[in-house]
Amino acid sequence: MYQRSVLPNKLRIVTHDMKERDSVSIGLFVDAGGRYEADQLKGAAHFLEHILFKGSRKYSCDEIKEKIEGVGGSLNAFTTEEMTCYLAKVPSRHVPRTFDILADMVVDPLIPKREVEKEKGVIIEEIKMYHDLPQYFVLDLLDGMLWPGHPLGKNLAGSEETVSGMSHTDLRGFHRAHYSARNLVVAACGAVRHQSFVQLVKGKLSGMSEGNRTDFIAVQDSQAKPKTVFSRKGIEQMHLALGMHGLHKDHEDKYIMALLHIILGGNMSSRLFDEVREKRGLAYSISTSLKAFHDTGMFMVRAGVDNRKIVDAVAVILKELAKIKKNGVTAGEFSRAKDYYLGQVQLCLEDTMDHMLWIGESTVAFDRMRKVEEIIRIVKKIKIGDIRRLARDIIRQERFNLAVVGPITGTQEKELNSLIGVKS
């Protein structure tokens, strides 16, 4: 199903030939992201992602965009805490030129001083934009509570101060340290033949320096009591995020965690959606989500609620969390959650782009490709009692972290602190 090759310089190539497709999605994954940055360079990985589109040794900024978009293709990139990806989707006949463009961007970027100085303003405005959006700002506050003083607890894009202080020399140094063959995975899915694609990659990247794997700062999880943080903002809706430490990305219980998330807040059939929105009308948006890193993770409930109903909403959320710890889940919920999870995986993998991201991210994170059959087998073995066991381990009051953004009153703060267990 999947094929893999490793070049002598340790660069990894993974492909999946998807029958009856006319497109190919290509991704170049770099095993470095926001948590690999020193404090004074916070935001460097994200900044570098922007700058690589400004031109390479072979292609100008305009050529990078026009030669891919001009044939009906799409071009993009993203940065996370643990990786950076440059990706494109094109009709299969345009694969050679598209790969050449992506590879030239990643391996031989110009990183011109003039563009770096100009892009600072763009990124600072991006930071300000997300700070002004309470549904995103509340997530920054929550990250800072779970991982205080750690790169994971700081904004991925950095701050106005760190971005302003970054130079083209700093970005070149970050590129030199992390963008090496050993840290690079090239993935392709769609109408692609593995050996032909390997030859394409060899021709462009076989001379790339192997480099060294770089380490990140490990998380020291020592939370022993609940925490709250409140940010007063004159808006029409209160935004809350309740988070607790979760599982790292290769934990043996990660699929149980996924089912717990689905049952509590993963879709419109979930307990929190039904109880908080449908039955009580306390929120428009209510959901749960997961974060998973090499050595830590997070389980989170987030909601946008009526300013007058923030205390009631949190009380109902806590009640539902306590209920699943005490009573577990019903057989119907359990069966539907399994079917939903496996159905979402299978639907996602029908698309060449999503499938490329699947095998590329898996190779970067675990140095192997997860097969759907393997996941189906693991999920089917999960027992209904596993949900309650994991809920009891994850959902603990001393591990609660509540962030709220909105026009919160002093009385509401006291009531929320009392609910969460924070002593005045």
Catalytic machinery residues? 49
Residue with tokens 């303003």: 121
The 10 Å Cβ neighbour count of residue 398 is 11
Please name every residue paired with 193 in a beta bridge, in sequence order, or none if there are none: none
For 83, the token pair is 């990786």
Edge-to-edge, what's the strand order for the sheet holding 401-406? 227-232, 401-406, 237-245, 297-306, 283-292
Q: Are 84 and 30 in contact (CB under 8 A)?
A: yes
Q: Which SS3 state, helix, strand or coil, does residue 287 take?
A: strand
Q: Nearest-CA neighbor of 344 among 271, 259, 272?
A: 259
The 10 Å Cβ neighbour count of residue 413 is 18
- Angle among Cα 377, 349, 53 to the nearest 5 degrees reads 135
> E strand or H helix at 340, and its extent?
helix 331-348
How far apart CA 299 and CA 42 sit, in angstroms, is 24
Contacts 24+ apart (CB under 8 A), 160-165: 160/124, 160/127, 160/128, 162/39, 162/40, 162/41, 162/42, 162/43, 163/43, 163/47, 163/120, 163/123, 163/124, 163/127, 164/120, 164/124, 165/40
For 285, the token pair is 């948006």
